[in-house]
Structure 1
Amino acid sequence: MKLIVDNHENNKHDPVMQRTSPRSSKNLAALVVAICWLVVLFDGVDLFIYGAVLPGMLDDPALGLTKEAAGTLGSYATFGMLLGALGSGPLTDRIGRKMMIIASTTVFSIASGVCAAAPSLGTFGLGRFVAGLGLGGLLPIALTMVAEFAPAGRRNLLIGSLMTAHQAGGILAATLGLWLLDSFGWRSAFWIGVLPLFVAVPLVAKFLPESLSFLIARGRLDEAREVASDHGVELPAAAAAKKSTLSLFRGGRWQPTLLFWCASFGGLLLVYGVNTWLPTMMRGEGYDLGSALAFLIVINLGGIAGMLVAGRVADRFGAVPVAAAWFALTAVGVYLLGVHMPLAVTFVVVFLAGVFLFSAQTMVYAAVTSRYDTASRATAVGSAAGIGRFGAVLGPWLGGQLMAAGNQGWGFTVFAASAVFATVFVLLAGLRSKEQLALAEAAGEPVGAH
């Protein structure tokens, strides 16, 4: 967390300031990351559980789900996430980041119960759409909280660490699919999705501190001082009021903003398309159901390793070059999945694809947090995540169309092409945002950490 003193003469005798230390800042960052990690874990489970139980849903004659309809149904949650991500910034301005995390977790937990009890595909689709509203609202705010509290030089590492929770959620979802499908049916997995309401929400309410920047911006100085005192950290300087999405297009920012949006679109099309359809596509390539679900576990294990590696590398070389390199390597890995290989070799390729696939998109978010100032950061991350959700909507739908036409082999090629698309745009976004940062610094404007 970057600590700034507003007025040294007024604050030097303040007990809050005297208790500030690097250790205090790191302890607070660890607390924030730990709590946000838990809620993002549940976010990941809820998000990926549909892909994990989809083979069982397709095999359920009472449900009457076709592959084409399954792709459309899978897009309902991602469309909800699009609206949730775009609306999270303005709503957070009103209720605060902590309350937004609580509200988002509550929404997707209740919606999971609706899916579990759904008497029809229409009700199930409504439940997935509502779940998406909560899922989409949660992640940008959790990322912004971690970026705000991160110690200097550790932002990318902590963002990568946070996003390992998403991949852990994918692993847990696939494990639940293996455990529950045969014995208890696909509905049981969605009943487990209600647990965050009783586990995560109380922990967030009790232990997660509110954003100091939010409290100060809202004039709630006494609360900000209380949080700072409780954790032994310094109050940040009063930041400019949070800016609207239109501010991302002023002062030459429109080019990097649009390019980051395009990169996020390609990255999320890839992430959600692969996570939704990987087990089904691998079954189409001749692997049995157990192996197909095991691939989902392995690709998310690779994702965890990739997040930690990418975060460390990005703290040294920058998030933009890492995102570009990771997307390019993802294109190779995903394309190779369409080649039938010995099972052991396939597992290695799936793992390596996961190493680069998920962390590439996370590094897009990390690049955005580093290229926009504090007042614009939450809006920039939320808009990149929100616009990127169009890709998240398209990915599952496109996979469904390919599966319905019997062209599952082309799915890997299409998703690999999406990775190439993202590579190009993240490189262009990095160049344009670097120019914009240089102009802002020359004009004496505040900029985010590079």
Structure 2
Amino acid sequence: MSSSPAPVARGSRLAVLVVLLCWTAVLFDGLDMFVYGSVLPHMLEQKALGITSGQAGDLGSYATFGMLVGALAAGTVADRIGRKKLMIACVALFSLASGLCAVANGVAVFGLGRTLAGIGLGGLLPTAISMVSDYAPRGRGALTIGLLMTAHHAGGILSAYVALWVVEPLGWRAAFWVCVVPLLFVPVLAKALPESLSFLVARGRTEQARALAARYDVEPPPAPSGRPAGGDLLDLFRGGAWIQTLLYWLASFGGLLLVYGVATWLPTLMRSEGYELGSALTFVVLFNLGGIVGMLVAGRASDRFGAPRISAIWFALTAAGVFLLSVRMPLTLTFTVVFLTGVFLNSAQTMIYATVSIRSAPAHRATAVGWTSGMGRFGAVFGPWLGGQLLAADKGDWGFTAFALAGVSSTVFIGIAALRGAKRPAAGSPEGKLLGAH
């Protein structure tokens, strides 16, 4: 008798369940991250909390500094205590922190709220990427991660509409109250999200892994050979892996400087170019729609041609697009450039994460992605601050040029990583184990 395809179907349903739950969590992550940039023009116009352009850049950097802390800690913590627990904690943290922003009576309290939200936001993303990587169909790792990251940009689109529909009639505080709603999703995650099978096996909890696998009729991953793994940062530097690790970190720095610099200041920079608030927020929508399209296109292309190569090409195209935004163009052409810039920029950075996730051993995947994201957060901190300083000095046009140069630097670093990746290490070598060579 032929074997039944039912277990494969049930395994597929498990993958869909994990991706759907993680997608929803990342949607809320994107909403919380982008909402500040979407309401910032209104806050500056109304002089809310007495915020100046320079302080606005600082506040944007507070959130990204929190994300730096969250990302650096989350990978190691997730590989030690479990990815499910950490995802739940992160969603709860950034939701409650948004409530603190909503009731803030001064810049200091608001900044504290954004910093705490950033810790939750920074911890969620690498953990969710690691979760969906565990359950991704073979040969579709980059596409699955790209699909997950469409949620981040869907959240960005949602933030623009929150600014249009909520802020004007109710004020800026209402937008942050909307960002408290994800707290209701915490019980859903606690009940429905399974723990990572590879985490359970790597931590020696094989009986729990077998029980979970039996529940969904899937095969648990094999136990790792050699010493137990799980969240050791030194694994990223053993053998020749340190070169690739540093290249990914440097590329991530430039990429996140670009992503968060543009995300924070795009509406304000466009208003400084003479566009109305409605048009400026339309740019946010187009930018994030481009991000959704780009994630799906880049994911498929990366699974075929290699994520580092696609990331390098995408960063080069991003640099060109961002630079063009400093040139006054007809509105329709500007809309097109913003959309295409969103296509390339957002997915270029995500394909760095895809590369690291796919090439890392499952036992320390969250550590590798978390530290790549975390080191990149230094750029995410610097980007919003840089934009604020340029605007405060009445040199807003230089903002697009500075961000374009960051794109060029990421092109160089991830391009070198792509060239080095063309000579794959032996599967038995330390570097081969870390990069997933096979």
Fold agreement, TM-score > 0.5: yes
| Residue of structure 1 equivalent to 2:222 | 237
Q: Does structure 2 retain, via aligned residues, the 8 Å contact 1:20–1:234?
A: no
Q: Deviations over 1:409-446 (max 9, x none)?
A: 111111111111100000112333454x4144468964
1:58 deviation in Å?
Answer: 0.6
Alignment of 1:277-292 (within 5 A): 277-292=265-280
Q: Aligned partners of 2:429 and 2:83: how far apart in 1?
A: 32
Q: Does structure 2 retain, via aligned residues, the 8 Å contact 1:371–1:433?
A: no
Q: Aligned partners of 1:222 and 1:202: how far apart in 2?
A: 25
Match of 1:345 among 333, 342, 356: 333
Change (3 A) 1:68 1:251: same
Match of 2:97 among 107, 111, 132: 111
| Residue of structure 1 equivalent to 2:143 | 157
Would you say 1:227 and 2:243 are equivalent positions? no
| Residue of structure 2 equivalent to 1:210 | 195
Q: Aligned partners of 1:30 and 1:181: how far apart in 2?
A: 35
Q: Aligned partners of 2:425 and 2:87: how far apart in 1?
A: 34
Q: Does structure 1 retain, via aligned residues, the 8 Å contact 2:68–2:375?
A: yes
Q: For 2:144, give the aligned amino acid.
A: L
Q: Aligned partners of 2:436 and 2:181: how far apart in 1?
A: 37
| Residue of structure 1 equivalent to 2:261 | 273
Q: Aligned partners of 1:207 and 1:414: how far apart in 2?
A: 44
Q: Does structure 2 retain, via aligned residues, the 8 Å contact 1:71–1:400?
A: yes
| Residue of structure 2 equivalent to 1:68 | 54
Would you say 1:310 and 2:298 are equivalent positions? yes
Kindly report structure 1 stretches of 4+ aligned residues shifted beyond 6 Å. 17-20
Q: Which consecutive residues of structure 1, in runs of 5 or more, have no partner in the other structure?
A: 1-16
Task: Output the TM-score relative to the length of structure 1.
Answer: 0.93
Q: Does structure 1 retain, via aligned residues, the 8 Å contact 2:320–2:404?
A: yes
| Residue of structure 2 equivalent to 1:4 | none
Alignment of 1:363-382 (within 5 A): 363-382=351-370
Q: Which consecutive residues of structure 2, in runs of 5 or more, have no partner in the other structure?
A: none
Q: Aligned partners of 2:58 and 2:421: how far apart in 1?
A: 35
* Aligned-partner SS, 2:425: helix
Match of 2:74 among 67, 76, 88: 88
Q: Aligned partners of 1:250 and 1:158: how far apart in 2?
A: 28
1:341 deviation in Å?
Answer: 1.0
Change (3 A) 1:373 1:222: closer
Percent identity over the alignment is: 60
Q: Does structure 2 retain, via aligned residues, the 8 Å contact 1:369–1:448?
A: no
Match of 1:397 among 385, 389, 392: 385
Q: Does structure 1 retain, via aligned residues, the 8 Å contact 2:213–2:220?
A: yes
Change (3 A) 1:331 1:31: same
- The aligned length equals 432
Match of 2:41 among 55, 59, 66: 55
Task: Output the TM-score relative to the length of structure 2.
Answer: 0.95
Taking only aligned residues, the RMSD between alpha carbons, in angstroms, comes to 1.7
Q: Aligned partners of 1:213 and 1:60: how far apart in 2?
A: 50
1:62 deviation in Å?
Answer: 4.9
Q: Aligned partners of 2:357 and 2:112: how far apart in 1?
A: 33
Q: Aligned partners of 1:238 and 1:88: how far apart in 2?
A: 23
1:238 deviation in Å?
Answer: 1.2
* Aligned-partner SS, 2:180: coil
1:218 deviation in Å?
Answer: 2.7
* Aligned-partner SS, 1:219: coil
Q: Does structure 2 retain, via aligned residues, the 8 Å contact 1:20–1:233?
A: no
| Residue of structure 1 equivalent to 2:118 | 132
